[in-house]
Amino acid sequence: MTARTLYDKLVDAHKVCDLPGGDLLVYVDFHIMNEYTSPQAFSGLEAKGLKVWRPGAHLSVVDHVNGTRRREGPDEASKLLISNLTKNCDKHDIALYGLGDPRQGIEHVVVPEQGLVAPGMLIACGDSHTTTYGAYGALGFGIGTSEVEHVLASQTLRYQRLKSMRVIVDGGTAPGVTAKDIIMQVIKTVGAGAANGYAVEFAGSTITAQDMAGRMTICNMAVELGARAALIAADALTEAACRNKAHSGSHRFSVSDWTSDADASFDREVVINGADISPLVSWGTSPDQTLPIGSNLPSEVDMATPAAKQALTRSLGYMGLHEGQPLKGLQIDMAFIGSCTNSRIEDLRAAAKILAGRKIADGVTALIVPGSTATRIRAEAEGLDKIFSTAGFEWRPESGCSMCLAMNDDVAMDGERVASSTNRNFEGRQGRGARTHLMSPAMVAAAAIAGHITDVRDFAEKEG
């Protein structure tokens, strides 16, 4: 039998039939919706007189547009989106984790937290960061509105098989290096968009050494490579992570089934030495515009093509920076810890460790939004909220995407520089004219204390 990659096994297991033109029809085990990307899909069902075929295979979550301050309700536009989602879920008997529900939170945080993902599953969602579920040896990918309608009506999707890429990261990492730094190094090496048309499998000792939160961070940001799927082979850690959750056992899984065959071949392979990775910070307006914390910004002479020079000029202009400027020492206005990339309990603990006994700098506005109500409750039970609040961070009582994207109350102002644990630093991502620097939660905490971008290892050394 021909050796197969994990990706091929997942696609083959969910193939319903071949379609004209070379595409496949695949079965979707589980589908997730939010208030922002689902309204048109439900309207399409209504117009066609269709019903949801398998209501139990869907979950809706409110997370994108809601505010995270308990004292403030959503604005009128957000209320309408949330109200429509509630009505549609009631009509079609779909589970909804809405505001006030103890299970509510960011979709890609609550699904693993509730035990709704397992190795071997195919999961779709109207959000690009659905690649997160690859951390469990599952195939997760984002879909558009018309596809949301299709999966609601039929539990299937038209699918085009992707090419395969394996990214091997081997070796131990230096102190201060996190999963966020690993995936940022991969994006820097491979290039933003360079994995278009690929399913990317992450392998190597550096990857298998990550805990589940770290693996989710890596798969989450793989979409910034252009990958439509990201995967990590299931192992004993995966199996343990699927146990003792509210919905554990809802989906059968066997760890041994969901790995690539030893002699499977990939269309492209990239190898990165884990020892070469340092704490990283983005400097521009694309996730691959990233440098180690001790570096200076690039200059035109470093750019190989006219297009690269033009991109450099545009990014520096938007970010208010200049060629050759040191990355370390850039003053920040805001610090944000949250998002589907880095708002899990492990992320909060890492940041709290840096903040304990310290205060954020004068003039810095800092906020932290736990990724789910359950995460918030757990963090408060551990006293993490007190560490953040004492240090000067605003501890948000409600969960949501918050400042990851300018779609709710949490928006940076024009020209404000933000140290952020989020996944994208595009122009206007956190507010019109906002300047985003991506980094790990611990690095965000260090920047908040210093009042400028700095090396988290300096704080760790002082602790030692």
CATH for 149 = 3.30.499.10
**Residue 440 included in any domain:** yes
Alpha-helical regions (H) of 320-383: 345-355, 373-381
- How does the average pLDDT of the chain come out, rounded? 95
Instruction: Return the half-sphere exposure (C-beta side, CA atoms, 13 A cut-off) of residue 237.
Output: 15
Domain identity same for 232 and 294: no
Domain identity same for 154 and 46: yes
- What pLDDT is recorded for position 267? 98
Each residue's pLDDT tens digit, 102-128: 999 999 999 999 999 999 999 999 999
Residue where a domain terminates, one of 218, 240, 270:
270
Domain identity same for 382 and 314: yes
**Residue 1 included in any domain:** no
Confidence of residue 90 (pLDDT cuts 50, 70, 90): very high
pLDDT over 70 (residue 15): yes
Confidence of residue 253 (pLDDT cuts 50, 70, 90): low
Domain identity same for 164 and 293: no
The domain total for the chain is 2
Domain identity same for 439 and 331: yes
Domain identity same for 230 and 327: no
**Residue 368 included in any domain:** yes
- What pLDDT is recorded for position 256? 74
The Cα–Cα gap between 88 and 33 comes to 11
Q: Tell me what the mean pLDDT of segment 243-262 comes to.
A: 83
Taking alpha carbons only, the member of 222, 201, 158, 165 closest to residue 23 is 158
Local structure of residue 293 (DSSP, 8 states):
T
Name which residue leads in pLDDT, 184 or 38: 184
Residues in the chain: 464
**Residue 387 included in any domain:** yes
Measure CA of the first residue to CA of the last residue in the chain; give whole Å: 54
Domain identity same for 164 and 228: yes
Residue where a domain terminates, one of 246, 270, 294:
270
Sign of the alpha-carbon torsion through 347, 348, 353, 358: positive
Could you list the residue range(s) of the whole structural domain that residue 347 is in? 280-463
Q: Tell me what the mean pLDDT of segment 437-449 comes to.
A: 98
Q: Tell me what the mean pLDDT of segment 159-174 comes to.
A: 97
Each residue's pLDDT tens digit, 291-308: 999 999 999 998 889 999
pLDDT over 90 (residue 461): no
- What pLDDT is recorded for position 36? 82
Name which residue leads in pLDDT, 302 or 15: 15
- What pLDDT is recorded for position 278? 97
- What pLDDT is recorded for position 229? 97
Confidence of residue 248 (pLDDT cuts 50, 70, 90): confident
Name which residue leads in pLDDT, 253 or 260: 260
Domain identity same for 15 and 100: yes
Q: Tell me how far CA of residue 285 lies from CA of 93, 310, 314, 383, in angstroms.
A: 42, 13, 9, 36
Domain identity same for 127 and 202: yes
The percentage of residues in the chain with a pLDDT greater than 70, rounded to a whole number, is 97
pLDDT over 90 (residue 74): no
Q: Tell me what the mean pLDDT of segment 43-57 comes to.
A: 95
Domain identity same for 119 and 266: yes
Q: Tell me what the mean pLDDT of segment 379-393 comes to.
A: 98
The Cα–Cα gap between 320 and 327 comes to 12
pLDDT over 60 (residue 71): no
Q: Which residues pair with 151 in a beta bridge?
A: none
The Cα–Cα gap between 310 and 216 comes to 34
Each residue's pLDDT tens digit, 177-205: 999 999 999 999 999 999 999 999 999 99
Per residue in 335-358, is it b (16+ CB within 10 Å) or e — as a string? bbbbbbbbbbbbbbbbbbbbbbeb
Domain identity same for 255 and 172: yes
Q: Tell me how far CA of residue 385 lies from CA of 372, 395, 407, 409, in angstroms.
A: 14, 6, 25, 21
Residue where a domain terminates, one of 270, 302, 335:
270
Residues 276, 206: contact at Cβ < 8 Å? no
Confidence of residue 69 (pLDDT cuts 50, 70, 90): confident
Domain identity same for 324 and 402: yes
**Residue 275 included in any domain:** no
The Cα–Cα gap between 156 and 313 comes to 45
- What pLDDT is recorded for position 37? 79
